Amino acid sequence: MTRLVLCVALVGCATSYQSARVLAPGTTEVGVAATRIQPSDGSNGDGLWVGDVSVRRGLTDRFDGGVHLTRIPGGPETGSFLAVDPKVMLTPPGAATTFSLSMPIGVAWDESFSDFGDGTIVLAPTLYLGFEVVPGTELVAAPKLFVFVPNQGETQTEVGGSIGLRIGDGSRSWAVHPELGFIHFDQGGGSFVMFGVGIAAGG
């Protein structure tokens, strides 16, 4: 994987910017986010800003799904990650503490103007744990497993996760998501820290 492909895949899968709950049936939510990804050793000059746009739709009282596009903005060379993200809630809809499972699957690729490089398929099974801190504020922890399947080379399996807050109104028509993410590579890739904020609105 190139560095650009790695960065967009990490941000696209290691960040969440969503509730552990699913959306109500028939409800649509649109989100935007900006994330900074940085090597955890603090290497100067190696950090990147990455943008994310997502759309989610509530399908049943315990299931929703969405798509999101993650991209490094600007410059003649950039990287992108496009994924589908189904999520099922394991606890009753009214529970104060929520457990959900999600299986994002997508492809990351680097670009040079209109030329597309080899893509990398990424799977990121995720367990969402949501805890209502106060009404309107949810603490969301999301441990994750990452499977990178490059077009050329060996498959990698790594671990990581994110933790953040969903701060919004009681009807969940809007929300702000500050979040911190982390992933560690056992195969000599080091560790990366991600921090950012997302904004979601819908109804």
pLDDT at 68: 92
Hey, where are the domains in the chain? 3-202
10-19, 25-34, 112-121: lowest mean pLDDT where? 112-121
Which residue, among 125, 108, 126, 109, has the nearest Cα to 117 in the 3D structure? 109
**What's the pTM value of the predicted model, to 2 decimals?**
0.87
Residue 71's DSSP bridge partners are 51, 80
Q: Does domain 3-202 have CATH number 1.10.3470?
A: no
Q: What is the DSSP string of 83-123?
A: EE--EEE-S-TT-SEEEEEE--EEEEEEEETTEE---EEEE
Give pLDDT tens digits for 84-102.
999 999 999 888 899 999 9
Of residues 130 and 169, which shows the higher confidence score? 130
